[in-house]
């Protein structure tokens, strides 16, 4: 039996479909507008969407279909879509099949008809799911919600999320900027029992300290100048769900005390209020600081640190899990390629160049590089030279202690240095010059020129001139 979303602006139609589908044993949620359905599809995994084709408003049935089928759609699952249409618009529905609809139903239809189409769609979906699971297993890759990775480190992250997602345990996510902390927080939420409840995110570094208390806990009318009415806080908005406290290291010491109290008591007090109210909220916090060091120097409270750190998920920097680079690069190519209507391929040399890079900005930087390359490029294949922003990891040369009084031969020094690195790259690439070039962040042509100049091999005729 499936979990089904029904979208129709007409109430009678929604009710009719809901009754039919529930009678057949499915779970059904109905929505009067595609935008509402889409919001729900982001937080819960459904198998199937049955939507009316013509609806007033910005998004109609086709728009909804496209949004669901877009490769970059941040949905919790990838549901099949069945369109419902009046006889007169059947042509449009047929055209819609091109956008990936599973089938369409023409009004008026019989109950049997719906059930047959829906059963077939669910069967197909079960097959697709099974296939994907098999493929993933074979490739040793895992995906959880939108989180990708095949490295040991990411496998460990997936496992950990699997263990804790349905508890209320507080989670601390640590890692450098751009390693995916927010994505992991969302995965913990959407994989868990609280998925249908709100996920409320707040950046503790972005809100001025004076406002933060009222932001978190709410305030009473008249509690301070400007408090013209009662306002509920983020804790209230997240009731039953998850509150994500991003950049927790930025929280002032005063607020740390108040947050600790809220976590211990599971109760909060609005600014200016007398009574406390119960809040059942799961806390996920994230930081790119070394909180233990902050605790040691007195900038972060030890008691709050231990409360938050019941489970810690550490996201290693991308340079320490390079096995994830091909998978992520391919994912971003698809995502941005789809927006430009063409999905280019990475040449092996270009991939080697990416793998040699150390990504100080981590996954976010890789994402930006791919986005820029897709936007600026026009070819079908991305070559190393199309990745200008990517430099092979730079190592500082050993600087001499003191400048020799007799001076130095700069050309000679540079040439020696070049010799060392070209040799190392060739060794690393198993003698494959193309790969070595990629590892050095230079073009193949430039590589051949250097090899000749350094006396590794004879120059070809067209290599006599330095490359431009
Ligand atoms: N494992 C992953 N799979 C797919 N996409 C990822 C992964 N990790 C990160 N990303 C993407 O990289 C970008 C940065 O991730 P995110 O915002 O979660 O990082 P962060 O650790 O919260 O960074 P910051 O500390 O700067 O806030 C996002 O667009 C996210 O979708
Ligand atoms: Mg973040």
In a domain, 397, yes or no: no
Strands 277-278, 267-268: parallel, antiparallel or unpaired by DSSP? antiparallel
Dist. CA 56 → ligand 2 center (Å): 37
The verdict on 263 and 151 lying in the same domain is: yes
Going by pLDDT thresholds of 50, 70 and 90, the confidence category of residue 57 is: confident
Tens digits of per-residue pLDDT, 148-179? Answer: 998 989 988 998 988 887 788 999 999 999 99
370, 386, 402: which is the final residue of a domain?
386
Average of per-residue pLDDT across 340-344: 84
Top mean pLDDT of 136-140, 198-202, 332-336, 453-457 is at 198-202
The verdict on 167 and 131 lying in the same domain is: no
**What pLDDT is attached to residue 226?**
84
The verdict on 215 and 329 lying in the same domain is: no
**What pLDDT is attached to residue 464?**
39
CB 328 within 8 A of CB 366: yes
Least confident of 26-30, 91-95, 383-387: 91-95
Q: Which atom of ligand 1 is nearest to the CA of 175?
A: 21
Dist. CA 68 → ligand 1 center (Å): 22
Asked if residue 108 has a cis previous peptide bond (ω within 30° of 0), the answer is yes
Q: Which atom of ligand 1 is nearest to the CA of 183?
A: 18
* CATH code: domain of residue 421: 1.10.10.60
The verdict on 294 and 331 lying in the same domain is: no
Tens digits of per-residue pLDDT, 104-134? Answer: 888 888 888 899 999 999 988 887 777 766 6
Q: Tell whether ligand 1 has an atom less than 6 A from the beta carbon of residue 147.
A: yes
The verdict on 301 and 187 lying in the same domain is: yes
Q: Tell whether ligand 1 has an atom less than 6 A from the beta carbon of residue 183.
A: yes
Q: What percent of the chain has pLDDT over 90?
A: 50
Average of per-residue pLDDT across 426-440: 85
Q: Tell whether ligand 1 has an atom less than 6 A from the beta carbon of residue 181.
A: yes
Q: Which atom of ligand 1 is nearest to the CA of 185?
A: 18
Dist. CA 179 → ligand 1 center (Å): 5
**What pLDDT is attached to residue 466?**
44
Average pLDDT, the chain: 86
**What pLDDT is attached to residue 87?**
65
Average of per-residue pLDDT across 70-93: 80
In a domain, 103, yes or no: yes
The verdict on 275 and 179 lying in the same domain is: yes
The verdict on 350 and 371 lying in the same domain is: yes
* CATH code: domain of residue 201: 3.40.50.300
CB 328 within 8 A of CB 363: yes
pLDDT at 136 over 60: no
In a domain, 403, yes or no: no
Buried b (16+ CB within 10 A) or exposed e, 103-130: bbbeeeeeeeebeebbeebbeebeeeee
Average of per-residue pLDDT across 439-448: 86
pLDDT at 467 over 70: no
Going by pLDDT thresholds of 50, 70 and 90, the confidence category of residue 462 is: very low
In a domain, 402, yes or no: no
176 against 462, higher pLDDT = 176
Tell me the C-alpha distance between 334 and 322, whole Å.
Answer: 19
Tell me the C-alpha distance between 361 and 176, whole Å.
Answer: 8
Pick from 143, 156, 180, 287 the residue to mutate for probing ligand 1's pocket: most ligand atoms within 8 Å of its CB: 180
Sign of the four-CA dihedral 7, 8, 11, 14: negative
284, 315, 346: which is the final residue of a domain?
315
Least confident of 27-31, 70-74, 133-137, 367-371: 133-137
Pick from 154, 177, 288, 363 the residue to mutate for probing ligand 1's pocket: most ligand atoms within 8 Å of its CB: 363
Going by pLDDT thresholds of 50, 70 and 90, the confidence category of residue 440 is: confident
**What pLDDT is attached to residue 375?**
86
Q: Residue 328 CA: which ligand is closest?
A: 1
The verdict on 206 and 255 lying in the same domain is: yes
pLDDT at 142 over 50: yes
Nearest protein Cα to ligand 1, atom 29: 364
In a domain, 278, yes or no: yes
> In the chain, how many domains are there?
4
pLDDT at 31 over 70: yes
CB 172 within 8 A of CB 309: yes
pLDDT at 410 over 90: no
Q: Tell whether ligand 1 has an atom less than 6 A from the beta carbon of residue 155.
A: no
The verdict on 59 and 127 lying in the same domain is: yes
In a domain, 305, yes or no: yes
* CATH code: domain of residue 26: 3.40.50.2300
Cα angle value 30/35/39 (rounded, 5°): 80
**What pLDDT is attached to residue 400?**
52
Tell me the C-alpha distance between 262 and 171, whole Å.
Answer: 16
77 against 201, higher pLDDT = 201
The verdict on 443 and 347 lying in the same domain is: no
In a domain, 398, yes or no: no
pLDDT at 468 over 50: no
**What pLDDT is attached to residue 463?**
40
Tell me the C-alpha distance between 282 and 362, whole Å.
Answer: 28
Q: Domain containing 308: what range?
A: 147-315
Going by pLDDT thresholds of 50, 70 and 90, the confidence category of residue 408 is: confident
The verdict on 22 and 35 lying in the same domain is: yes
Average of per-residue pLDDT across 288-308: 94
**What pLDDT is attached to residue 134?**
62
Q: Which atom of ligand 1 is nearest to the CA of 180?
A: 18
Q: Which residues pair with 27 in a beta bridge?
A: 3
Least confident of 62-66, 160-164, 427-431: 427-431
Tokens of 211: 């406002």
Q: Tell whether ligand 1 has an atom less than 6 A from the beta carbon of residue 179.
A: yes
Least confident of 107-111, 176-180, 193-197, 405-409: 405-409
pLDDT at 137 over 80: no
The verdict on 284 and 340 lying in the same domain is: no
Tens digits of per-residue pLDDT, 352-399? Answer: 999 999 998 999 999 999 998 998 887 889 998 888 777 655 444 555
């Amino acid at each position: 039996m499936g979990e089904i979303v029904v979208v129709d602006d007409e109430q009678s139609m929604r009710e009719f479909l809901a009754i039919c589908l529930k009678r057949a044993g499915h779970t059904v949620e109905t929505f009067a507008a595609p935008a509402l359905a889409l919001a729900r599809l982001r937080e819960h995994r459904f198998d199937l969407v049955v939507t009316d084709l013509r609806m007033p408003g910005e998004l109609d049935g086709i728009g909804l279909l496209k949004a669901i089928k877009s490769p970059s759609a941040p949905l919790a699952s990838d549901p099949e879509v069945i369109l419902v249409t009046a006889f007169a618009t059947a042509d449009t529905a047929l055209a819609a099949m091109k956008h990936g609809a599973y089938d369409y139903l023409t009004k008026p239809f019989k109950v049997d008809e719906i059930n047959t189409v829906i059963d077939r769609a669910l069967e197909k979906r079960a097959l697709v799911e099974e296939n994907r699971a098999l493929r993933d297993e074979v490739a040793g890759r895992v995906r959880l919600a939108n989180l990708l990775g095949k490295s040991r480190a990411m496998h460990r992250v997936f496992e950990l999320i699997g263990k804790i997602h349905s508890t209320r345990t507080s989670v601390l996510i640590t890692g450098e900027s751009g390693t995916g902390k927010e994505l992991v927080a969302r995965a913990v939420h959407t994989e868990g029992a609280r998925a249908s409840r709100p996920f409320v995110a707040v950046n503790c570094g972005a809100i001025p300290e004076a406002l933060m208390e009222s932001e978190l806990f709410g305030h009473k009318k008249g509690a301070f100048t400007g408090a013209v009415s009662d306002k509920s806080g983020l804790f209230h908005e997240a009731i039953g769900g998850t509150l994500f406290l991003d950049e927790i290291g930025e929280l002032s010491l005063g607020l740390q005390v108040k947050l600790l109290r809220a976590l211990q008591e599971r109760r909060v007090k609005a600014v200016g209020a007398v009574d406390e109210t119960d809040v059942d909220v799961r806390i996920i916090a994230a930081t790119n600081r070394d909180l233990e060091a902050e605790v040691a120097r007195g900038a972060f409270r030890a008691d709050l640190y231990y409360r938050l750190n019941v489970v810690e998920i550490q996201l290693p920097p991308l340079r320490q899990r390079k096995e994830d680079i091909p998978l992520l690069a391919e994912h971003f190519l698809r995502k941005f390629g789809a927006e430009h209507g063409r999905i280019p391929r990475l040449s092996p040399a270009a991939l080697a160049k990416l793998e040699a890079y150390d990504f100080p900005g981590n996954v976010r930087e890789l994402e930006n590089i791919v986005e820029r390359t897709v936007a600026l490029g026009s070819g079908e294949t991305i070559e190393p030279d199309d990745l200008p922003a990517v430099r092979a990891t730079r190592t500082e040369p050993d600087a001499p202690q003191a400048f020799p009084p007799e001076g130095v031969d700069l050309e000679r020094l540079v040439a020696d240095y070049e010799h060392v690195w070209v040799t190392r790259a060739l060794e690393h690439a198993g003698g494959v010059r193309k790969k070595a070039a990629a590892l050095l962040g230079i073009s193949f042509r430039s590589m051949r020129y250097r090899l000749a100049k350094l006396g590794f091999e004879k120059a070809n005729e067209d290599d006599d001139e330095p490359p431009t």
